[in-house]
Amino acid sequence: MTRIAIIIGSTRPGRNGESVARWVLEHAEKRDGVEYELVDLAEWNLPHLDEPMPAAAGQYANDHTKAWAAKIAEFDGYLFVTPEYNHSTSGALKNAIDFVGSEWYNKAAGFVSYGVFGGARAVEHLRLVLSQLQVATVSAFVGLSLQHDFENWSLKPTAAAEAGLTPVFDQLESWSAALATVRDAAAEEDVAA
């Protein structure tokens, strides 16, 4: 079964990310043939990147990195729930991505963002970062506006935002399943070598 992590990309106290991620999960759990799981960066307590070797080397020294790598490796795809802070994603999410390397490779990612302008600039920055990690990002995404999809800082998504989840799920699930064949071929090459 295809497994997809819904990664809560903010650790800020009072964040909107958790309510957005739970809303996404509520809709995701209605889907057949795929398993979604919340992964909350606030629960991982990752320090600022403290590995002596680059992640691409795959030589993790710290227990927190090894645990994070094992968690990321469990999934076929990722749905990032990201705020937009200063025209980009959160530092906590970028840091978490940078901790590991090959665990991200040949997988798919989708996005649900939120911010004054729907978080679109955060998504664009994440697309650039993830492309370096061989993550295929799907074109559909949901951008929640703080003016239209929240009321007194509480999530109240519009019907359009809710409808926008379906193409995100559809694309992410199909790309995640398709890229399993790429990962399988790469694993076979590693065994043969």
Taking a C-beta distance cutoff of 8 angstroms, is the pair 17, 6 a contact?
Answer: no
Q: Residues 101-109: what's their mean pLDDT?
A: 97
Q: How many domains does the chain have?
A: 1
4's CB contacts (< 8 A; 6+ apart) are 28, 34, 35, 36, 37, 75, 76, 77, 78, 79, 172, 173, 176
Domain containing 167 equals 2-192
Mapped onto helix, strand or coil, the DSSP state of residue 152 is coil
Backbone angles phi, psi at 186, to 5 degrees: -65, -40
| pLDDT tens column, 69-82 | 999 999 999 999 99
CA distance 21 to 40: 9
Residue 35: CATH number of its domain = 3.40.50.360
**pLDDT confidence bin for 188, thresholds 50/70/90:** confident
Asked if pLDDT for residue 8 goes beyond 80, the answer is: yes
| pLDDT tens column, 147-164 | 999 999 899 999 999 999
Whole-model pTM: value is 0.96
> According to the model, what pLDDT value does residue 184 have?
86
> According to the model, what pLDDT value does residue 64 have?
98
> According to the model, what pLDDT value does residue 185 have?
84
**pLDDT confidence bin for 193, thresholds 50/70/90:** low
Q: What angle do CA 175, 179, 185 make, to 5 degrees?
A: 165
